[in-house]
Amino acid sequence: MTVGDYPNYLAVGYLVNQNIIKDPYKLEKIEVVDDINAVIVRSKEETVIDISNNRKIKTSGCANGTIFDNIIDQIDEVRLESRFKVSADEIFNLYKTINLTPSLYLKSGAIHGCVLCSQDKPLVFFEDVGRHNAIDKLAGYMFLNKIDSKDKVLYTTGRLTSEMVIKSVMMEIPIIASRSGYTAWAVELAKKSNLTMIGRLRGRKFTILSGYGRLISK
């Protein structure tokens, strides 16, 4: 279930976040087939994942997000080493700027957005029915445009769940922030992977749950 925009980013981003494709230079062709609501992604890259034998796990994401169970094992071995830092003021400025930016979220409230940011500057904004789709669109955009993620912040309007943490780590984004709440498993995974996770961002207040070293308090 998706709003239907940027199907190429959505498809590629999903494959990237499932660790199925890794090398943008081996991507040959992306074909959006409107007649059957499908996207065909062709790559020279060989995948170590046998989709037919891997179990899909339904997540808590809106519109039934899914991940393959092998990602759970892989995420335990990843630790983000980025030394990128942001200040509390930059986080507050992001919150203010994004919440004043015209969007489907502000119009309807029944949709989720993910924003890639540099310090306190929003760079690109994707929305969808489910936050898992919004972050996959962002992943696809970054992959196809070869954008470095190690000095970026991901802001999301949705709840910080295990799926959002897993995908942020797979994208190697060191800091994720949300105005919403979070789940216990998401916090656990964020701590294991050294992801800086900020929740309940409202006005001049937030809760930092992991990766404290990337936040400049003054």
Residue 172 CA to chain centroid, in angstroms? 10
Residue 205 lies in a domain: yes
Residue at 135 is within a domain: no
Using the 3D structure, point to which of 75, 101, 117 is the last residue of a domain.
Answer: 75
Identify whether residues 11 and 115 lie together within a single domain: no
Are 109 and 57 within one domain? no
pLDDT digits (tens, 9 = 90+) for 80-93: 999 999 999 999 99
CA atoms 211, 160, 184, 199: torsion sign: positive
Same domain, 25 and 103: no
Instruction: With a cut of 90, say whether residue 35 has pLDDT above it.
Output: yes
Domain assignment present for 175: yes
Do 65 and 126 sit in the same domain of this protein? no
Lowest mean pLDDT among 3-12, 47-56, 134-143, 146-155: 47-56
**What residue numbers bound the domain in which 108 lies?**
86-130+147-216
Residues 6+ apart with CB under 8 A from 70: 19, 49, 54
Q: Does 110 have pLDDT greater than 90?
A: no
- Return the pLDDT at 208: 96
Q: Give the separation between CA 85 and CA 151, rounded to whole angstroms.
A: 8
| pLDDT one-digit tens code per residue, 37-80 | 999 999 999 876 665 555 655 555 555 556 555 666 677 788 99
Within the chain, strands assigned E span 27-33, 38-43, 56-58, 66-68, 86-87, 112-118, 121-128, 153-156, 175-178, 196-202, 205-210, 215-216
Shared domain for 48 and 114, answered yes or no, is: no
Answer whether residue 161 is part of any domain.
yes
- The contacts of residue 145 (CB under 8 Å, 6+ apart) are none
Cα torsion 91, 150, 123, 187: sign: negative
pLDDT at 191 over 90: yes
* Gap between the Cα atoms of 155 and 98, Å rounded: 9
CB 2 within 8 A of CB 11: no
| CATH number of the domain encompassing residue 153 | 3.40.140.10
139 in a structural domain: no
Does 186 have pLDDT greater than 70?
yes
